[in-house]
């Protein structure tokens, strides 16, 4: 009987294990192999010029100014995106959690953007932030500013090449779009968290002498730490791999002001047939995400054991 169960069990999981082994881990290994090769043109491969070049692709990448810009962009995008979605998510969750009239409607309203494809969001926001021909023929928001007489708020948005240190200001519209799309999701997470906090703990804190503000920072937030951690991980890996939103909204932008590694990877691999370089970027992105996710996996595995 036990043996039979074992056979059934294995045969049920086997297809997905095999598929994952080939299409996930197999291809990761393949990509890793390619990233150490000189496969930088299709014809070269056909001629049989496929040899290993060690870390040459990686060294080239890190010397590449475009890739350096991408890394800075990813860093700033991730920081502001995480901060924005989490802060906005918490604020919306608190407001919705108050249970005021109509909060149910807003809860759904806030969550809704998540249901839309990044490509759609990107396109729509690209219209909103399209600067038009400044200063005489503005579009989108700039047009609104002009009508309101707020002319000095008009600027190039995602076409601007201004920067603060390494932070390209053109990223601001992209960050706004991304925050808009995913803060409803963090709201939902925090809302679930807030509703999971037993009421008597809050009441105990009230009796203990805590103000609303103190209750939030000293009782609720610490109890929401697991939520914050999950949000950081989930949003973090989205942010590090972001492609579709930026691609649909701005592309690389002038001077690569809104370029990200995924776009560079896409262009190298599928526009220039430089497979080895593209693979190297893929591996670097995988490492970034691994840095975020692996500690989380370990800690959650430890938690499960307990």
Partner 1 sequence: MAKVELERVWKIYEGKVEAVKDATFTIEDKEFVVLLGPSGCGKTTTLRMIAGLEEITRGTLKIDGKVMNDVEPKDRDIAMVFQNYALYPHMTVYDNMAFGLKLRKFPKDEIDRRVKEAAKILGIEELLDRKPRQLSGGQRQRVAVGRAIVRDPKVFLFDEPLSNLDAKLRVQMRSELKKLHHRLEATIVYVTHDQIEAMTMANKIIVMKSGVIQQIGTPHEIYNKPANTFVAGFIGSPAMNFVDSKIIQDNGLWIKSSGLKLKIPKQFEEQLEEYVDKNVIFGIRPENIYDKMFAMAPVEGENTAAVMVDVVEPLGSETILHLVAGDDRLVAVVDPKTEAKEEQKIDIVFDMNVMHIFDKETGKAIL
Which positions lie near partner 1, rule CB under 8 A?
A: 198, 200-201, 203-211, 214, 218-219, 222-223, 225
CB 186 within 8 A of CB 86: yes
Please, what is the minimum distance in Å from the beta carbon of residue 218 to partner 1?
Answer: 8
Pick the closer one to partner 1 by CB: 204 or 294: 204
Output DSSP code: residue 23: I
Distances (CA, A) of 20 to 25, 257, 289: 7, 36, 19
Please, what is the minimum distance in Å from the beta carbon of residue 220 to partner 1?
Answer: 10
Supply angle C-alpha 178, 227, 209, rounded to 5: 120
Residue (of 18, 61, 127, 16) closest to 285 by Cα position:
61
Please, what is the minimum distance in Å from the beta carbon of residue 85 to partner 1?
Answer: 24
Give CA–CA dist 24/234, Å, rounded: 19
Pick the closer one to partner 1 by CB: 134 or 210: 210
Please, what is the minimum distance in Å from the beta carbon of residue 195 to partner 1?
Answer: 16
Pick the closer one to partner 1 by CB: 175 or 224: 224
* Burial class of 113 by CB neighbour count within 10 A (0 to 12, 13 to 18, 19+): middle
CB 111 within 8 A of CB 96: no
Pick the closer one to partner 1 by CB: 200 or 304: 200
Please, what is the minimum distance in Å from the beta carbon of residue 205 to partner 1?
Answer: 7
Pick the closer one to partner 1 by CB: 123 or 299: 299
Pick the closer one to partner 1 by CB: 120 or 223: 223
Token code pair at residue 141? 């928001």
Token code pair at residue 133? 């021909």
Please, what is the minimum distance in Å from the beta carbon of residue 222 to partner 1?
Answer: 4
């Amino acid at each position: 009987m036990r043996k039979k169960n074992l056979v059934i069990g294995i045969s049920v999981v086997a297809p997905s294990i095999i598929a994952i082994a080939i299409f996930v881990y197999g291809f990761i290994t393949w990509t890793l192999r390619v990233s150490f090769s000189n496969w930088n043109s299709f014809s070269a491969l056909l001629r049989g010029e496929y040899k290993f070049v060690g870390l040459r692709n990686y060294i080239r990448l890190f010397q590449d100014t475009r890739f350096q810009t991408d890394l800075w962009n990813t860093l700033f995008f991730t920081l502001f995106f995480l901060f924005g979605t989490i802060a906005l998510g918490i604020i919306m969750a608190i407001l919705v959690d108050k249970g005021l009239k109509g909060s149910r409607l807003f809860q759904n309203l806030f969550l809704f953007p998540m249901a839309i494809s990044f490509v759609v969001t990107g396109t729509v926001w690209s219209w909103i932030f399209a600067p038009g021909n400044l200063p005489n023929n503005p579009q989108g928001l700039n047009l609104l500013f002009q009508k309101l007489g707020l002319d000095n708020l008009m600027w190039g948005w995602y076409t601007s090449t201004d920067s603060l240190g390494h932070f390209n200001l053109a990223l601001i519209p992209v960050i706004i779009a991304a925050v808009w799309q995913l803060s409803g999701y963090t709201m939902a997470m925090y809302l679930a968290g807030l509703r999971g906090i037993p009421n008597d703990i809050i009441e105990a804190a009230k009796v203990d002498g805590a103000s609303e503000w103190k209750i939030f920072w000293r009782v609720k937030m610490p109890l929401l730490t697991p939520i914050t951690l999950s949000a950081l991980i989930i949003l973090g890996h989205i942010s590090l791999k972001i492609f579709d939103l930026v691609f649909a909204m701005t592309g690389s932008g002038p001077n690569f002001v809104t370029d990200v590694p995924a776009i560079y990877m896409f262009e190298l691999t599928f526009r220039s047939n430089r497979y080895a370089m593209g693979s190297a970027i893929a591996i670097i992105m995988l490492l970034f995400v691994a840095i975020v996710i692996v500690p989380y996996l370990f800690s959650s595995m430890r938690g499960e054991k307990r």
